[in-house]
Amino acid sequence: MAAISRDDVAHLAKLARIEMNDSELDHLAKEMDVILGAVARVQEVASADVPPTSHPIPVNNVVREDVVRPSLTPQEALSGAPAQSEDRFKVPQILGEE
């Protein structure tokens, strides 16, 4: 018996508001069954003495301290801009919104 049925896939598609025809539902049910089988095999290999991890080696977030430094003034930053408005870069309208 399949771990996930065609009806399960149809229900998930309905919840996700995805229209699927009968052949797509049948195909995806088989695909999902293969995927769930692969996950089950991985779960068989994992044992209680192996802690769950997201990476095989320890990962540390390496960041530098924030240091306040002098930067460009708005006028300097906008000095090469082809168009500007209210201390901002002015670009062409693309979405048709006001």
Q: How confident is the model at residue 46 (pLDDT cuts 50, 70, 90)?
A: low
Strand partners, 85: 88
Task: Please give the pLDDT value at position 1.
Answer: 42
Task: Please give the pLDDT value at position 17.
Answer: 96
Q: How confident is the model at residue 2 (pLDDT cuts 50, 70, 90)?
A: low
The pLDDT mean for the chain works out to: 87
Task: Please give the pLDDT value at position 98.
Answer: 61
**Predicted model pTM:** 0.45
Q: What is the 3-state secondary structure (H, E, C) of 13-68?
A: HHHCCCCCCHHHHHHHHHHHHHHHHHHHHHHHHCCCCCCCCCCCCCCCCCCCCCCC
The yes-or-no verdict on residue 97 having pLDDT over 90 is no
Q: How many CA atoms lie within 13 A of 74 on its CB side?
A: 6
Is residue 27 a contact partner of residue 11, using CB atoms and an 8 Å limit?
no
Span 28-39, pLDDT tens digits: 999 998 998 898
Span 59-89, pLDDT tens digits: 888 888 899 999 999 999 999 999 999 989 9
What does the alpha-carbon distance between residue 65 and residue 14 come to, in Å, rounded to a whole number? 49
CA 39 remoteness from chain centre: 20
**78-87 long-range CB contacts below 8 Å, 24 or more apart?**
none
